[in-house]
Amino acid sequence: WSGQTNDFYLVSGNLSCSPHLHKNIEIIYNLFGEKNIVINSKPFTLAAGQLAVSLAYDIHQYSFSENSVQLVLIIPDAYASAFYSFMGKNKLSDNIITDGNKKIMFYLEKLKEEKEKSTPNALITEGLMKCILGEIAGKIELKEGGNIQETKNFMQQVFEYIEANYKKPIALESIATHFGYNKFYFSRLFNSSFSININEYIAIIRLSHAMDYMKKNKCTVTAAALDNGFGSVKTFYKYYKKFKNDI
């Protein structure tokens, strides 16, 4: 969980990142070679000229790929309202756009040029990002999936709650009670949005913090596990074995 940014973010290179999610739209455009990515546990391989779109709260990651170069753009939520209005009560049928992306590449290049100026023009950068989203809206296919804006707002509250309380003994029932839901309904709501259940998500957050804790404090696994919400070292290793490639 990496929150959100109110500024646009654009970077190029042979990129990789561990699984994460945030409130913003993230676009990865593959320029050269092949790029392996995972969005909501579904693997994809991007060829040159193809792009992937991760919407708010999609869990996504990029693996290092030999001889490949990408552009990654994170669009502030404030610029995406028209895009989400277009989507309405639907989800993406596919996160990958395979062809016809030359105009999007043109806008990305212009955005990169503007970003590199000593004083970027905010009106131009906003307009280019909206043009990119407009092009994507014309290429994606949608399927029924509930109200995205409501889901975004609700899930942001859930993720912020977990981030603030991961050291405590929280689980499905306590989180559902906190938000005023029956645990079975809450579980279905969470699982319909993500490819993992709430307890697995909490474990990944705790693992991420525990690993960082060990690096900073040069402490034992036991200390890191118990200080970051795990009830036992056995539980830590159970989830570490399952998610060690995801943190």
> Tens of pLDDT along 105-151?
999 999 999 999 999 999 999 999 999 999 999 999 988 866 666 66
Rounded to a whole number, what is the distance in angstroms from the first to the last CA of the chain? 11
Say yes or no to pLDDT of 190 above 60: yes
pLDDT: is 45 or 16 the higher one? 45
Q: Which pLDDT does position 204 carry in this prediction?
A: 86
User: What's the average model confidence in pLDDT over 214-219?
Assistant: 92
CA distances, 39 to each of 58, 161, 242 (Å) = 6, 23, 18
Q: Rounded CA gap, 34 and 23, in Å?
A: 27
Instruction: Find out whether 211 and 229 touch, Cβ atoms under 8 Å.
Output: no
DSSP state of 47: P
pLDDT: is 119 or 156 the higher one? 119
Say yes or no to pLDDT of 23 above 90: no
Residues constituting the chain: 247
Q: Which of 149-158, 215-224, 237-246 has the highest mean pLDDT?
A: 215-224
Q: Which pLDDT does position 60 carry in this prediction?
A: 85
Say yes or no to pLDDT of 1 above 60: no
pLDDT: is 76 or 23 the higher one? 76
Q: Which pLDDT does position 231 carry in this prediction?
A: 93
Q: Rounded CA gap, 133 and 215, in Å?
A: 39
Question: Phi/psi at 95 (nearest 5 deg)?
Answer: -85, -5
Q: Which pLDDT does position 118 carry in this prediction?
A: 93
Q: Rounded CA gap, 167 and 192, in Å?
A: 26
